[in-house]
Structure 1
């Protein structure tokens, strides 16, 4: 009985040491892609031609991230302006000097469940990774 217990514990630790780096790599990749997308969307949305991040830009972003393995329906976008105005309307773009803030979040999708084998606490099923950015608008009417 003791040998079976040792075997089970050894197998659990062996599985964790073999597969944990793979899951961490996926986590790092997803976080980097989210941050890259935030930076790209803010660069386009805050330039002198736009001054907003509208629903079309968000739909295009969902499609781009979907090509990299994200599930588009699980992505959540939050767009705000530092001056309190809406930053999602082409009819009322954010004027120069005010900032546009963008946050994209995505669930962890059980990436840490293998860590439970060795007793580590994992994020809840509702926890989300997020990337954010703030860029000053350059739009001048």
Structure 2
């Protein structure tokens, strides 16, 4: 009986060790893609001819991330400015010297279920990974 218990525990640990790098790699990839997208959107949105991140830029970002396996309905975008003005309006861009902040979040989608089975503490249900950035606007009226 002891041998069967040892075999089952050893098999569970072996399966976890074999599959852990696979799903951890997916988490790292998703996080990197979110950060790359934030950096790109801020680079374009804070340049001298824009000064904003509008809905069309967000929709284009959703489509780029969809090509990498993200579900567009689960992506959440938060855009703000350090001066308090709305940073999503092309009619009133953020002026030079003020920052544009952008955060994109995406759910973990149960990526830690294997860890939960072996007793490792996992993020709470509904937790989201995210990437954020701040870039000073270069827009001059």
Aligned to 2:109: 109
Structure 2 segments unaligned to the other structure (5+ residues): none
Aligned to 1:46: 46
Aligned to 2:140: 140
Q: Deviations over 1:47-97 (max 9, x none)?
A: 001000000000000000000011000000000000000000001100111
Distance 1:119 1:2 in 2: 21
Pair 1:70-2:70 in alignment: yes
1:1-141 residue pairs with structure 2 within 5 A? 1-141=1-141
Secondary structure at 2:103's aligned position in 1? strand
Distance 1:124 1:12 in 2: 23
**Structure 1: 4+ residue segments shifted above 3 A:** none
- Does the CA contact (< 8 Å) of 1:16 and 1:117 recur in 2? no
Q: Deviations over 1:18-50 (max 9, x none)?
A: 000111110110000000000000000000010
Structure 1 segments unaligned to the other structure (5+ residues): none
Matched pairs, number: 141
> How many Å apart are 1:5 and its aligned residue?
1.6
Q: Deviations over 1:95-131 (max 9, x none)?
A: 1110000000001111111112321011122111110
The alignment's C-alpha RMSD in Å is 0.8
Alignment TM-score, normalising by the size of structure 2: 0.97
Distance 1:98 1:42 in 2: 13
Distance 1:124 1:109 in 2: 11
